Amino acid sequence: MAEDQIREALADIYGEMNEGGLLCCTLDTVNADGMDVSIQVMAETINLAPYPFAEDPLTRFELSGATEGLEGLELDLVDWDANAFATVGTAGNDPADIARLIDRTFVKVLGCTPDYALSVSSEDLA
């Protein structure tokens, strides 16, 4: 299950090793249309690239069902460029909820099949 893999990949992002908050985890896959999609995760944000929509990302999350069942999740729109990228603030949320949101975002927003395969990489941006 991708959600478990995501949770494991994010352990360092939300752990003591990331005191400065500059670790970045990139999760890459290919959606059902054959397009490369990725989500970069930092301690307080997620970044979707590409974000192939003209509408506000928070609206897209809600309308697609990506946030369904995550009522306690608080998200802030940090920055976005229609049809290019979207950066969403996730500060203060439970890491397990962030992992669940990311999994659902790959499927419900970015168009991946439920059995998508992830490639994971991490880097320190310090």
pLDDT digits (tens, 9 = 90+) for 73-107: 999 999 999 889 999 999 999 999 999 999 999 99
How many domains in the chain? 1
Instruction: Judge whether 120 lies within some domain.
Output: no
Dist CA 76 CA 88 (whole Å): 6
Cis before residue 52, ω within 30 degrees of 0?
A: no
Q: What is the DSSP letter of 14?
A: T
Question: Is the pLDDT reported for residue 39 higher than 70?
Answer: yes
Dist CA 30 CA 37 (whole Å): 6
Give me the pLDDT at residue 1, please: 59
Dist CA 50 CA 24 (whole Å): 17
Instruction: Judge whether 12 lies within some domain.
Output: yes
Instruction: Judge whether 125 lies within some domain.
Output: no
Which residue range forms the structural domain that includes residue 54? 2-114
Instruction: Judge whether 6 lies within some domain.
Output: yes
Instruction: Judge whether 14 lies within some domain.
Output: yes
Instruction: Judge whether 78 lies within some domain.
Output: yes
Strands (E) located in 17-92: 23-30, 36-42, 45-49, 76-81, 85-89
pTM of the entire predicted model: 0.92
Instruction: Judge whether 124 lies within some domain.
Output: no
Q: Are 110 and 27 in contact (CB under 8 A)?
A: no
